[in-house]
Amino acid sequence: MTAIAVTLAGSDSGGGAGIQADLKTFSALGVYGASVLTALTAQNTRGVTAIHDVPTDFVAAQIDAVFSDLAVDAVKIGMLSQPAVIETVAAGLGRHTPRHVVLDPVMVAASGDPLIADEAVSVIKSALFSSVSLITPNLHEAARLLERPVADTPEAMQDQAERLRDLGAPAVLLKGGHGAGDQARDVLVSDAGVTWFGAPRHDTQNTHGTGCTLSSAIAAGLARGATLDDAVAAAKDYVTGAIRAADSLKIGHGHGPVHHFHALWHKG
C-alpha cells in the first residue's frame, strides 16, 4: 500500500514553507501527499505582505473530498490563522478520525511576520489539542500558548512541554532551534516518558520552512508505520540534513528555504 499523508496548512507563494514545504517533504520521504489549503499568503524569502483566509465552507469541502477518496495514514496541520478555520478543521477531524495527526501551531514566519490572529490562540488549545496525536511548538510558540516567558533552560523546556500536555495534547515535541548553545535540542514528552533529541547547529540564514518541514517529516514517518519516537528521530535527522544543505540553494534575497531534496538531487 502507498503511504498517504495530507497537509492542512497555508500556502507560501515563495515555495519554502507551508503547503509547498510539506508536499516537498512528503515526496522526499516516499509518501504521497495531498493538501487542504486553509490560507493563501503573499510571501517570499523577505517576508509576508498579505494573507487571504480560505472560506470555511471551502476548507470543509477540501477535507471531505480528500478523506472520502484517499486512505489517509497521517495528517499534518499547519497555519490556521482564524478561529472559524480552526473550528472547521476540528470538525473535519471529528468526521474522519484519522489515526495520526501532527499539529504545528504556526504563529510567526521566519521573517518575524505574524501569521495568526490573537483570538485564534485560545481556540487552537480548546478545539484542537485533544484531537491530535502530537503538537510541535517552538520555544516562542510554546511561550505564547502558555502565556509564559520563553524557556531558556532544558528544565524550563521540559516543564513547558509538560504544561502543554496538561492542556490536552497527548504528546508534545518542544523544539529548541531558537535557543542558545552548540546543540539544537528538542524534547518529546508523551505517555512513554521524556526523550531528548539533539543535533549540532549549522550557521546559516537559510532556515525558512524548518518548522513546517519537521512536522511534515514526522507525519510522513507515522504514515509509513514508524513509532512516534522513531518518526521524530528520523525527522530530526532529515531536517538537520536539509539545513546543512540549504546554502547550496541560491533562492531569494532573505531567509532562503532549507533543501528538502538534499538526499536526492545530485550535481551533474
pLDDT in tens, 101-110: 999 998 876 6
Residue numbers annotated as active site: 175, 207, 209-212
Is 75 in contact with 102 (CB distance < 8 Å)?
yes
Contact at 8 Å (CB) between 183 and 201?
Answer: yes
What pLDDT is stored for residue 119 in this prediction?
A: 84
Distance CA 172, CA 164 (A): 7
- Distance separating alpha carbons of residues 40 and 10, to the nearest angstrom: 6
Query: What's the whole-model pTM score?
Result: 0.95
* Distance of alpha carbon 87 from alpha carbon 202, whole angstroms: 38
Give the model's pLDDT for residue 268.
Answer: 42
Sequence letter at residue 105: P
What pLDDT is stored for residue 181 in this prediction?
A: 64
Query: Which ranges of the chain have pLDDT less than 70?
Result: 109-114, 178-181, 267-268
pLDDT for the residue numbered 177: 72
Q: Could you tell me which residues come within 8 angstroms of residue 93 by beta carbon, excluding any fewer than 6 positions away?
A: 75, 101, 128, 131, 132
pLDDT for 112 equals 63
Nearest to 244 by CA among 212, 211, 188, 199: 199
pLDDT on residue 178: 61
Exposure on the CB side of residue 70, measured as CA atoms within 13 A: 24
Q: 17 with 257: CB under 8 angstroms? A: yes
Assigned CATH class of 4-248: alpha beta
